[in-house]
A = this chain, B = another copy of it.
Amino acid sequence: MNPLHFKEGEGGGFIRIGGIAKGSGMIQPNMATMLAFLTTDANIAQPLLQKTFAKLIDRSFNRISVDGDTSTNDMAVLLANGQSGTAELTEGTRAFDLFKDALEHVLVRLAKMIARDGEGATKLVEIVVNGARTETEALQAARSVANSNLVKTAIHGADANWGRILAAVGYSGIDFQPDLVELFFNELPILKPHYEIVIDEVKAKEIFSSENITITIDLHQGPASANFWTCDLSKEYVHINASYRT
């Protein structure tokens, strides 16, 4: 991708962030076959850059899954050469916050590109869980939905099967009240609390037929949210992984 330029606001000038990443099977990174290389000319101390990078990795690359198979050798590297000519970035400043947001933007964009580029994939799916008690629980529910072969085949078939989504939240292991759950496909309400089914099957199928789908689950249990990116599961995925040696 092209480097993302942004004006840092204090001290003037530009900082560039570039990134390259490679997927696209054995993907559910936990900084274990994914490779990502990032570069920036920001002027920033190594410890602060490492801390910031690790935190943002957890919100980008570590939130995608193609097949649920965590690789033994995922890697993300960020190199900073300090050549932007701007003042050194330090925590608690607006310049640092701008840099962090820009870095997150690049990381999330690369992560989504990997998920969309998954073996055999035809669609990018974002799972958003809102209203969880904690971010850990939100992430656990989102990951469970993202890794469900039944959800992923339904999406592949443009079958708006919301029951499979709820089932995957149910077996995710988090504690929640099923009767409070609200579900949306993009902006379309599917299920309202107290099991009020409001799905418009025609519109829902239209959404599931597109290449970018957002599934939002509101648990109404608390203030925490998390999102996660995945792709559909196709016959082509099976073909690639069953027959790649022949």
Q: A residues touching B (Cβ–Cβ < 8 Å)?
A: 25-26, 28, 30, 32, 67-72, 147-150, 153-154, 156-157, 159, 164, 166-168, 170-171, 233-235, 237-239, 241-246
A153 to B241, CA, bound (A): 6
How many angstroms between the C-alpha atoms of A183 and B167 in the bound complex? 35
Expressed in whole angstroms, the minimum distance between the Cβ of A213 and any Cβ of chain B is 14
CB <8 Å contact, B153 and A242: yes
* Contact flag A241-B167 (CB < 8 Å), given A69-B149, A149-B67: no
Q: Are A30 and B238 in contact (CB under 8 A)?
A: no
Chain B hits for A147, CB < 8 A? 68
State the oligomeric state as a number of copies: 2
Chain B: CB-nearest residue to A68: B149
CA gap between A28 and B148 in the complex, in Å: 11
Residue of B whose beta carbon sits closest to that of A233: B238
C-alpha spacing A242/B234, complex, angstroms? 8
Hey, which chain B residues are within 8 Å of A243, CB to CB?
A: 157, 159
Cα distance A167–B32 when bound, in Å? 10
